[in-house]
Chains A and B, each alone.
Chain A
């Protein structure tokens, strides 16, 4: 072997070795994605049979990971229902019980912590969000001279997040809820940049939920555990509201500041509020997003 050939072969070997070393972190990849998951069809193109298979796969995955057999359903919107949320700012005391009830109900990651509801502490007399305190932590609430405004997905009529998604992974359903197909999202985070309410959250790493805290009552577009690298957000507790229950944040509220219901039903509480109250507002109304989430003021 000539000197040149020897040098060439050594360079090639060194190169391959370096390449292998560069790829070495991939050994920890674990259960990143199964073939079935990789090939899975878009939600709206699945037949009932496809969906049944997908649900079995999800149930198996959850059982393998958490040791609990969940009950996963693909709940469809109810006919004649369009959901609306009303929040009474006069009553809210900023206790953040809604934030934690939401985390428990919707199987959000505890580490890193993901929360759908952000409660803003605002100085008396101001609706300027730039003055909001996000990290207030006093001995007790409410504090004098302040009021509290919980913000979550506003379920807009004209959602900017849906418009910008390059792959239709998020869309608005008939009942007004904007949902995400977690198995279709590519994780570009354009929706997160587009949302004027900072309502969307990204799974920056593999979500961690303690086994004993897992809520086994799950829905496909709702609270089933998410994977690393996809978006999630408030979906009005689809696994509850589509079977006639209230969202978890409403049930836990100690002061009854939260009202939820069907705006198409004239006898619902939300219809009454929007019909009878003199003042109610949509957050950032000037954006033209037209939220289904209203703030009102009443003793």
Chain B
């Protein structure tokens, strides 16, 4: 027992240590992210002291970019399942060694999600009121209480799966199936649940006709399964370039097929919604505001049309054989990510509040302080993901293992991470 604990602590120590070791590019990247994290922290401290008045939000538009980013990132987290399903259900060989990068991305995304909801709270010091047992969690009536449970549960599931697999590899032991396969299958269902519950957060509000539509849930999933794997495609290419970890083109093209199908479904569902809103002309004020502008207010119009164009171009690129070339695939992925980020953020959260239930038209623009907080959280998420990769890649390559525990630690100058590893 003592020995096992000591081994595990050594493992954690070595993982922690390697996060601070890298070449100059690594330091520059991490340094840059840290600067943004601190800028965000500074902006958040201002908000903590003076209140949410330093944001662009008001009683009319009472949720803004914080909740918008939160919604988008829940989708990114859920999308890890699109690598898990091919690997664990269809035994896909190409993705097998990559699935852990998707799961680590989910962990980083959930951390960002939790940060985004926390900064949106008026009284973050009272977060303990949400903890079952000592607080008063309104479960199962409040959809927000479901979200608290599913998001934290998903975080724990993925931390367990990644942590266990990496530690097994570190010890050069075959992972015991009973210890992780059941969790993998629970996580598949759980991934769908996090995004469905987040959709229900909006769908359940009868007073907001723009959200009160059963298509929101399916649209969330379709957009998540487009944007999430797109992010993974880009991340894998960066990993391949920076660490020489073995990633085949075929693996990337498998992900391309996933994005391709999801994107078609996503655009189709968007079309369905637009048709229903405008053809029936019922409760159409929010959609009119979003797509065309209403009574001289049209702050969101350029955003949503950018999103529509990006989504369509991305879809056509993905359908064409052109995107079998990685350059074009990258372009399609970037368009897809930006398009869906706008559509899920600015395009879904904000118009739900405009006009208000009493018909007032008050627009919303995020303030500088609010934007800095968002950038800070994104930087923090990227920092976390980079650290996860910095730890996991050498473990998976066998360069960081229990066997070489007693050898001198690698240092910046002689860091093997940047040297090609024969495979």
Contact = CB atoms under 8 A, between A and B. Distances in A.
B358 A197 contact: yes
Interface string A15-32: 100110111111011101
Interface stretch (B156-164, B201-209, B237-245, B308-316): B201-209
A196 B127 contact: no
Interface in B41-86: 41-42, 45-46, 48-53, 57-60, 62-63
Interface residues of B, number: 56
Contacts of A230: 122-123
Nearest to A200: B59
B129 A197 contact: no
A21 B34 CA distance: 13
A201 B356 CA distance: 13
A166 B52 CA distance: 20
Interface in A158-217: 160, 163-169, 184-190, 192-198, 200-206
Contacts of A198: 59-60, 356-358, 360
Interface stretch (A47-55, A130-138, A257-265): A130-138
B130 A186 contact: yes
Nearest to A30: B49
A25 B39 CA distance: 12
A257 B260 CA distance: 61
Given A186-B121, A187-B121, A198-B356, A164 B52 contact: no
B135 interface: yes
A42 B58 contact: no
A164 B59 contact: no
Interface in B320-355: 352-353, 355
B38 interface: yes
Contact of A167 (B39, B51, B130): B130
A286 B38 CA distance: 49
Nearest to A135: B360
Contact of A184 (B136, B141, B148): B136
Given A166-B130, A203-B51, A287 B206 contact: yes
Contacts of A95: none
B63 to A, nearest CB: 6
A199 B136 CA distance: 24
Contacts of B138: 165-168
A67 interface: no
B206 A167 contact: no
A150 to B, nearest CB: 11
B356 to A, nearest CB: 5
Q: Which of A128, A189, A203, A284 is packed against the most chain B CB atoms within 10 Å?
A: A189
A9 interface: no
A38 interface: yes
Contacts of A15: 34
A163 B145 CA distance: 11
Interface in B112-146: 117, 120-127, 129-130, 135-138, 141-145
Contacts of B207: 160, 194-197, 284, 287
A112 interface: yes
Contacts of A134: 358-360
Contacts of B126: 38, 167, 184-187
Interface residues of A, number: 63
A190 B34 CA distance: 32
B110 to A, nearest CB: 18
Given A189-B62, A194-B205, A195-B207, A22 B39 contact: yes
A168 B126 CA distance: 13
Interface in B17-54: 34-35, 38-39, 41-42, 45-46, 48-53
Interface string A125-165: 00011111010000000000000000100000000100111
B122 A203 contact: yes
Nearest to B143: A164
A282 to B, nearest CB: 14
Interface string B286-329: 00000000000000000000000000000000000000000000
B45 A22 contact: yes
A65 interface: no
B284 to A, nearest CB: 10
B285 interface: yes
Contacts of B62: 189, 192-193, 202
A219 to B, nearest CB: 21
A186 B127 contact: yes
B142 A130 contact: no
Contacts of B129: 42, 167, 169, 184, 186
Contacts of B117: 188
Nearest to A8: B20
Contacts of B39: 22
A242 to B, nearest CB: 24
A230 to B, nearest CB: 6
A198 B362 CA distance: 13
Contacts of B206: 160, 196, 287-288
Given A166-B138, A190-B144, A205-B51, A22 B122 contact: no
Contacts of A196: 206-207, 357
B120 A23 contact: no
B136 A167 contact: yes
A73 interface: no
A133 to B, nearest CB: 9
B205 A228 contact: no
Contacts of B63: 189, 193
Nearest to B207: A196
Contacts of A287: 206-207
A132 B360 contact: yes
A120 interface: yes
A196 B127 CA distance: 26
Nearest to A44: B136
A118 interface: yes
9 contacts: A25-B49, A26-B49, A134-B358, A151-B358, A168-B138, A185-B126, A193-B208, A201-B59, A229-B121
Interface of B: 34-35, 38-39, 41-42, 45-46, 48-53, 57-60, 62-63, 117, 120-127, 129-130, 135-138, 141-145, 148, 201, 204-208, 285, 352-353, 355-360
Given A18-B38, A25-B46, 9 more contacts: A23-B45, A38-B126, A42-B136, A129-B358, A167-B130, A185-B126, A197-B207, A228-B122, A284-B357
The 9 closest A-B pairs by CB, nearest first: A187-B122, A229-B122, A196-B207, A205-B51, A205-B53, A166-B144, A25-B45, A204-B53, A22-B42
